[in-house]
């Protein structure tokens, strides 16, 4: 018998508008989050991502529809969020004048009533986020990477099951970003459910299982990223002629300059692509494969302006 993972959060036909008679900011959205999954919410600016996350985290109340945390039936919505949900805002949501330890101690003192557990929870968060070296340093003096880790550590010190992350790797060096992505993958393995917003689509591809595309407050596409799809990118010495483009059996997307991309959905398309590339071998400058086809999907969905 297949093991079914529990649903952590469901949204059923949720709508929300900030003003009466104005277009809805969230329009009839339904989705569900599975335990241990990472779901990305993507969309252009003003698509409704922030509003949707505000609704899911109880910061706003849905005007129609229902939001439930079925895994925590024993709690009400507010209690479930207070006990099991943590936020990692894009800004450094902590006190820059306090040390790393004092920041964690303050937030733990709010989330955990049992004082005997405070030290243990702080230590666990420090260890998970590799903050041992800077634990006594003032938060404001940390590097961008450590600040990002502290931002996440504060969320983890609450010992949540669901974590909402808003661009947690913005403005940091590649090594620090890798460390954070590794940490988030570890959290997924531990069964934590992640909700992720970012404009860095390669990170989304690396980390997320599902992507929800929002536009004008509506879900315009939901995509599972664990499929067999591949993205093939190549660049040429000079622009391809129309006759050369037609060698490919599926639509070829022209990126900047002489860069091209195509999505391969099955082995037949893969064979056709290799055949076409073989005919163009003298013109090919560089070639790469990726299981990240999210970028093309994003471009397909949002290239046209919203009417």
Q: How far apart are CA 111 and CA 159, in angstroms?
A: 9
Residues 44 to 63 in contact with another protein, rule: CB under 8 A: 50-51, 53-54, 57-60
Q: If binding is defined by CB under 8 A, does position 107 make contact with another protein?
A: yes
Residue with the two structure tokens 């997320």: 208
Q: How far apart are CA 14 and CA 6, in angstroms?
A: 21
Least distance in Å: CB of 52 to another protein? 9
Q: Which of 31, 77, 98, 277 binds another protein (CB under 8 A)?
A: 98
Interstrand relation of 162-166 and 193-197 (parallel, antiparallel or unpaired): parallel
Residues 202 to 231 in contact with another protein, rule: CB under 8 A: none
First-to-last alpha carbon distance for the chain, in angstroms, is: 48
Least distance in Å: CB of 14 to another protein? 15
Q: If binding is defined by CB under 8 A, does position 135 make contact with another protein?
A: no
Contact 214, 231 (CB under 8 A): no
Q: How far apart are CA 50 and CA 287, in angstroms?
A: 37
Give the start-end residues of each E strand in 169-237: 193-197, 210-215, 218-224, 230-236
Q: In what order do the strands lie in the sheet with 38-42?
A: 85-88, 162-166, 193-197, 38-42, 210-215, 218-224
Single out the segment in contact with another protein by CB under 8 A; choices: 103-111, 253-261, 268-276, 296-304.
Answer: 103-111
Rg value, the chain, Cα: 22
DSSP states along 148-175: HHHHHHHHHTT--SEEEEESTTTT--HH
Q: Closer CB to another protein, residue 86 or residue 134?
A: 86
> What phi, psi does 221 have (nearest 5°)?
-165, 150
By CB under 8 A, the count of residues binding another protein is 37
Q: Closer CB to another protein, residue 164 or residue 213?
A: 164
Least distance in Å: CB of 38 to another protein? 18
Q: Closer CB to another protein, residue 103 or residue 292?
A: 103
Residues 144 to 203 in contact with another protein, rule: CB under 8 A: 154-155, 158, 164, 166
Q: Closer CB to another protein, residue 38 or residue 273?
A: 38
Single out the segment in contact with another protein by CB under 8 A; choices: 94-102, 125-133, 179-187, 205-213.
Answer: 94-102
Q: If binding is defined by CB under 8 A, does position 85 make contact with another protein?
A: yes
Q: Which of 13, 30, 63, 109 binds another protein (CB under 8 A)?
A: 109
Which residues, other chains included, contact 256 with Cβ-Cβ below 8 Å and sequence gap of 6+? none
- Is the sign of the CA dihedral 139, 144, 147, 149 positive or negative? negative
Q: If binding is defined by CB under 8 A, does position 83 make contact with another protein?
A: yes
Kindly list the residues in this chain that would bind another protein in the complex (CB under 8 A): 50-51, 53-54, 57-60, 79, 81-83, 85-87, 89-95, 97-98, 102, 105-107, 109-111, 138, 154-155, 158, 164, 166
């Amino acid at each position: 018998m297949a093991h079914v993972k529990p649903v952590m959060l469901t949204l059923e036909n949720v709508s929300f508008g900030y003003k009466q008679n104005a277009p809805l900011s969230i329009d009839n959205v339904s989705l569900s989050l599975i335990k241990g999954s990472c779901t990305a919410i993507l969309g252009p600016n003003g698509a409704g991502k922030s509003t949707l996350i505000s609704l899911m985290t109880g910061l706003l109340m849905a005007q129609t529809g229902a939001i439930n945390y079925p895994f925590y039936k024993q709690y009400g919505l507010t209690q479930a969020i207070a006990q099991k949900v943590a936020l990692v805002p894009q800004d450094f949501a902590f006190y820059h004048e306090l040390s790393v330890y004092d920041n964690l101690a303050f937030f733990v003192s709010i989330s955990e009533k049992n004082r005997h557990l405070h030290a243990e929870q702080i230590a666990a968060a420090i260890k998970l986020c590799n903050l041992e070296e800077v634990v006594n340093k003032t938060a404001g003096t940390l590097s961008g990477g450590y600040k990002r880790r502290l931002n996440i550590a504060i969320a983890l010190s609450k010992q949540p099951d669901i974590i909402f992350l808003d661009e947690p790797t913005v403005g940091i060096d590649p090594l620090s970003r890798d460390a954070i992505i590794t940490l988030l993958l570890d959290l997924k393995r531990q069964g934590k459910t992640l909700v992720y917003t970012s404009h860095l689509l390669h990170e989304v591809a690396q980390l997320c299982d599902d992507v929800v595309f929002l536009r004008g407050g509506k879900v315009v596409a939901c995509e599972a990223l664990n499929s067999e799809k591949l993205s093939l990118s190549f660049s040429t010495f000079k622009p391809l002629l129309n006759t050369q483009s037609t060698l490919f059996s599926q639509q070829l997307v022209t990126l900047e300059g002489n860069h091209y991309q195509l999505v391969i959905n099955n082995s037949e398309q893969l064979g056709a692509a290799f055949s076409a590339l073989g005919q163009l071998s003298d013109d090919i400058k560089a070639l790469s494969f990726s299981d990240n086809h999210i970028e093309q999907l994003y471009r397909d969905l949002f290239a046209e302006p919203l009417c």
